[in-house]
Amino acid sequence: MTYLTSGAEATVKVKGELIVKERVPKRYRIRELDERIRKERTKAEARLISEARRLGIPTPIVHDIQNSTIVMQYIPGTPLKHVIDESLSERLGELIGRLHSGGIIHGDLTTSNLLLYNERIFMIDFGLSFMDPGVEAKGVDVHVLFQTFESTHHDYRALIDAFSRGYRHTCDNSGEVLERVKEIEKRGRYA
């Protein structure tokens, strides 16, 4: 087994053609409470990955869930941050629009959590995902992505415009959400 990454919430290891994601214990929490929280978050993540897949979003296939561990398909793709262009950004907008129309908020929408594999954009790492049909949650999700574009890509305006075109095609209340993104951006400037 090879470590892929280790973060504050989980370790991710590659085991052949599988990913093993295990939530790490938090020593500052009471053991029983910690175990319950990790199990619940693991189940919720697996459920949301599967629900996103049902909405037509390419995601890893979940193979197994045990306690605080998810075993899922390894996607040997290229992080979108290395290959994104206007065309991919528009396609990404369509995917996120579908996700949001299904009431799912990714919670960590960055070009590092999106992989290009066999000409498809796969969404990974649903560890911070949750259900929320509201405009504010969708706006925050899109705002995080736009901040990623701005901080990592010189042509970020073109990427934002392309994403917005795709998002308008598939998200039920895209106009409201994109307006909310502008409001959220203004809040951040004056905070």
Summarize pLDDT for 139-157 with one digit per residue, the tens: 999 999 999 999 999 999 9
pLDDT tens digits for 99-108?
A: 999 999 999 9
- Distance of alpha carbon 152 from its chain centroid, rounded? 17
Report which secondary-structure segment, H or E, holds 50. Answer: helix 31-54
Indicate if 132 and 160 belong to the same structural domain: yes
Instruction: With CA atoms as reference, report the closest residue to 139 among 178, 191, 88.
Output: 178
Query: Could you read off the pLDDT of 68-85 as tens digits, one per residue?
Result: 999 999 999 999 999 999
| Residue 64 and residue 92 in one domain | no
Mean pLDDT across the chain? 94
Same domain assignment for residues 105 and 34? no
Q: What is the CATH number of the domain that holds 171?
A: 1.10.510.10
DSSP characters for 99-163?
HHHTTEE-S---TTSEEEETTEEEE---TT-EE---HHHHHHHHHHHHHHHHHH-TTHHHHHHHH
pLDDT of residue 104: 98
Of 42, 73, 104, the residue at which a domain comes to its end is: 73
- pLDDT bracket for residue 3 (50, 70, 90): low
pTM above 0.75, yes or no: yes
Distance of CA 187 to the CA centre of its chain: 23
Predicted confidence (pLDDT) at residue 169 exceeds the cutoff of 80: yes
Looking at the fold, whether 67 and 84 belong to one and the same domain comes out as no
Residue 117, beta-bridge partner list? 120
Show which residues are catalytic. 108
Q: Is the pLDDT of residue 23 over 90?
A: yes
Total count of domains within the chain: 2
Q: Do residues 117 and 180 share a domain?
A: yes
Same domain flag for 82 and 62 = no
Domain residues for 130? 78-190
**Residue 4 — pLDDT band, cuts 50, 70, 90?**
low
Confidence check: pLDDT of 9 > 90 = no
The rounded percent of the chain whose pLDDT value lies above 70 is 94
CATH number of the domain within which 19 lies: 3.30.200.20
pLDDT of residue 10: 87
Report the pLDDT averaged over residues 107-111: 95
